[in-house]
Chains A and B, each alone.
Chain A
Amino acid sequence: FGSIAIAATALTLSSCGDKERKGEASDETAVLRFSAIPDENTTGQAARFKPVADYLAKALDVKVEFVPSATYGASVEKFENGDIHLAWFGGVSGEQARQAVEGAEALAAGKKDLAFKSYFVANVATGLTRSEEFPTAIANMTFTYGSSGSTSGCVMPSHFIMEKTGKTPMEFFQKKPIGFSGAHDKTALQVQDGTFQAGVLSYGKYESMVKEGTIDPAKCVVVWETPPFADYNFTAHPALEKSFGEGFVAKLQKALLDCKDPAALKALGRDELVKVTNETFIPVAKVMEKVKFD
């Protein structure tokens, strides 16, 4: 009861403060707060997304503020609470956000996000090579995912494992424990170092690491490529219409689709944005219900 008592006091104290401010809140000019999941190149997240904020501010003539999010969950949580009104989500987190907020809409995605894929990789010492068939041999190897909330690093690959083998990942992999490296590049490095014999990560990250030279494609071999699925997307909160006026979401969508600003596009790591709807992500939603890890 101690905790409850404290929390209750804190609440009453602050709600007193609220009533005083009630009038003020609506007077203030509304700010469009947006956020993004921390997927890759996460240092200086605010700096990275500033060009996007700047672009939107200019295109829509509103104040735009980027709010950093420390975890995938945090960004969804804030979206649900209406602390942010627009977010650059992954496939899974976007779907979660839309399920949590009635009327939330997926607006735009990168062109490549509509046909995103993951690479199953293996250490060269396993002797596996690239094949069209799902590599069932990895069942007897140590295996690592990225973050368990990542669409391409965990959820979709698990879906394909279930589809191809009819077993859940926990049943399929014989060598325990399964790893959750936390990030795509960690997965690649751990497989290259042989800490784990095999793993799965976003194809984009793998290719950029090969290009930078941090990964040697001869040591960390791609053994299988998943079928395409939809991933990253901009999702908007219905509250936008309330604070910025009717039709604002449509304006926002248009601004995103029309974006030619190179700095903003570079921040997103996309060449152009294309239109998507909530329906685009129905397959992901179905997968989310299936995939379980216990």
Chain B
Amino acid sequence: MWLGRRWLVVALGVVFFLCVARLGADFVTHTPGSDPWASTIRFFSGAISPSLVDQNSSLPADADPFLSRLGDDLLRTIRYALIATSLAIPGGLLLGFFASEQWWPRNGAQVLFQLIRWPVRISLSLMRSVHELIWAIFFLSAFGDAPFSACLALALPFTGTLAKVFSELMDEQNRSPRDVITAAGGSGAQGFVATIFPMALPDMVSYSLYRFECALRSSAVLGFIGVETIGLSINRSFENGFYGEVWTALYVLIATVILIEGLGHMTRQRMMAGKARTRSSGLSESELRKAAPRDLFLRVNGVTWMVVIFMAFSIGEPLVTPMVEGQRSERLSRFLTKLTPDPIAPEKSLANWDERKEAWSEGSDQFVPWLADLWEHPGQEALINTLAMSVAAIIVAACLAILLIPWGIRTLANRNPLGLAMSRSFLPGVMGSLIRGFFVLTRAVPEYLYAFLLVGLMGPSAWPLVLALALHNVGILGRLWTEVVENQRRIIPSTILEVGGGRLQSYVAALLPMSLNRFILFFFYRWESCVREATVLGMLGVSSLGYYISIQQNFREYDDILFYTLLGAGLVVAGDLLSDFLRHRLRGENS
């Protein structure tokens, strides 16, 4: 990849400068009288003195104290995150299967299978890129403001993401074992189940745990439906300038994230290394079977998750509130009306099909001009700006992450990198913990918080937003990428160490090229979420999809929001195609 793929690096550079040209190169825009550090100092003073009691003086004296509320929020968040992820994983597996190409029979009618794969992939893109708000309103309409709506509103886009990432992880696996199965007359599906799936499992477990972590952090959808999560709590405290409270909640969140990451690490380690037999075995089949190495940790772990998920479903507030019949269809009809473009929307929000058809026939000649208008202004400009901002952000994030991760990779950052004895210095280990700590911190702190601080530091322009997105994504890419590298088999990179090379060299020369395809996969995945990131991109009146979505959200112009969302989805689909093309090329295939 290195020699022939230099253009990849060059292309990234060129694209970045195009973004700079688009967004303007004035990174810092201060006006007289500005005190750039003031807000930052105010914010970080909260880090040293996290608050244990409410800072909100308007609360009645007998109110539930802050810490107990925070604890409730945390438990609630964990519960709904568990439910959402456990709903999304099976869906992700199923759709991911159809979106991958590993189950295709070789030499088969490939075109036919492409005809399955691409519609699935595109609908996955839609699931991921349709704005959270629209899912939230949809489920609010369908199920009321019960917690289950929140879970579904979270689970649906998660299914899309999981399916995409699962399918691509599967596509990246070594195909030789699968070929053996198909050569023996097995079907593609069998080859998939028996070889690709077990090989991809460690990567998929990593990613699922990461998704669970995302669910913990994601407050927007849950909050909209009225589930008070720890993310919402941070958001609220921050809005009110209660920085002590913000930091207390952040510390709690960070601790939780570290806990999950540690658990994930242990699980993956066990899955990668296997377990040596501890008893010597006899000679018969049944004796061998009894003495077979079994990993108690993995089993206990698996069972525990099952139990915890079951508890999440069954204990606590009821998930669904009953709804009177007919009410649901009314609500859905209203939702549909909201999404219907203005010129073809029926008069009444509770229209029946005939009225809708009538509205359509009356307004259909207005529909295209409506679209054209929105596209002319501001769609076109917003699309280009969003592209420029998201691309600039993800490139900055990727550059930072790629420089930092070699020191953070657990399999390298210790005394025995890749299982080989190395110097006894404790430095790499400490460094590794620091880097991973940095990743946890950057991703646990929500991006709007960075955006606010950076706008203070740099003055209002698109760049603080870009940097805020970049910072948040450094932590996420850092985590995802380190785990990709940790899940690589050790034989190849360890040859570099064997000839006296160092940790960094084995990263640069073996682990990086081996992982490049998976890096690209996650790079595009994160870029996608930058495109979607309306909360941050809407913070300043920079003409971008996020800005118009957040404005129209307050004016309740959902048809416009849908339009902007679909523009974003277009970007996402294009990104999907590009990612697919790149990874095929780098894998050495020419399709």
A and B touch in the complex (CB under 8 A): yes
Chain A residues proximal to chain B, CB less than 8 Å: 1-4, 6-7, 10-11, 14-15, 17-19, 21-22, 24-26, 38, 40-48, 50-51, 67-74, 76-78, 80-84, 92, 96, 100, 123-126, 141-142, 144, 147-149, 170, 176-183, 185-186, 189-190, 192-197, 214, 263, 266-267, 269, 288, 293-294
Which of B7-15, B451-459, B574-582 contacts its partner? B451-459
For the residues of A in contact with B, the DSSP-based class is helix
Q: Among A22, A38, A43, find the residue whose CB has the most chain B CB atoms closer than 10 A.
A: A43
**With known contacts A44-B66, A96-B556, A148-B551, A125–B325 Cβ distance under 8 A:** no
Q: Are B95 and A180 in contact (CB under 8 A)?
A: no
Query: Interface range on chain B: under 10, 10 to 19, 20 to 34, or 35 or more?
Result: 35 or more
Residue from A44, A68, A69, A71 in contact with B64 in the complex, judged by beta carbons closer than 8 Å = A44
Residue from B31, B54, B66, B225 in contact with A141 in the complex, judged by beta carbons closer than 8 Å = B31
Q: Are A125 and B32 in contact (CB under 8 A)?
A: yes
Query: Could you pull out 24 A-B pairs where Cβ atoms are within 8 angstroms?
Result: A6-B156, A11-B328, A41-B59, A42-B240, A43-B54, A43-B233, A43-B242, A44-B64, A51-B60, A77-B224, A100-B349, A126-B32, A141-B31, A170-B541, A177-B542, A178-B540, A190-B39, A194-B34, A195-B36, A195-B459, A288-B555, A293-B541, A293-B551, A294-B378
Q: Are B144 and A81 in contact (CB under 8 A)?
A: yes
* Chain B 29-43 interface 0/1 with A at a Cβ cutoff of 8 Å (1 = within): 111111110110010
Which residue of the partner chain A has the closest CB to B143? A14
Residue numbers in B under 8 Å from A2 (CB-CB): 95, 120, 123-124, 127, 160, 163
Which residue of the partner chain B has the closest CB to A47? B63
Q: Are A70 and B223 in contact (CB under 8 A)?
A: yes
Q: Are A24 and B34 in contact (CB under 8 A)?
A: no
- Beyond contacts A41-B59, A180-B539: 14 other A-B pairs, Cβ-Cβ < 8 A, are A10-B152, A18-B323, A44-B64, A47-B69, A74-B226, A77-B137, A92-B554, A125-B33, A176-B541, A176-B542, A178-B541, A179-B541, A194-B35, A293-B551
Q: Are B63 and A48 in contact (CB under 8 A)?
A: yes
Residue numbers in A under 8 Å from B232 (CB-CB): 70
Q: Are A196 and B460 in contact (CB under 8 A)?
A: yes
**With known contacts A25-B324, A41-B240, A3–B126 Cβ distance under 8 A:** yes
For the complex, give the distance between the alpha carbons of A41 and B548 in Å: 27
Residue numbers in A under 8 Å from B136 (CB-CB): 74
Q: Are B140 and A182 in contact (CB under 8 A)?
A: no
CB neighbors of A among B217-241 (8 A): 219, 223-226, 228, 232-233, 235-237, 239-241
Give me the 7 closest cross-chain CB pairs, A-B, nearest first: A125-B33, A194-B34, A149-B554, A70-B223, A47-B63, A178-B541, A21-B322
* Chain B 45-86 interface 0/1 with A at a Cβ cutoff of 8 Å (1 = within): 000000000111111100110100100000000000000000
CB neighbors of A among B289-338 (8 A): 320, 322-325, 327-328, 331, 334
Which residue of the partner chain B has the closest CB to A15? B328
A172 to chain B: closest CB distance in Å? Answer: 12
Residue numbers in B under 8 Å from A71 (CB-CB): 223-224, 553
**With known contacts A41-B56, A43-B240, A142–B226 Cβ distance under 8 A:** no
A47 to chain B: closest CB distance in Å? Answer: 3
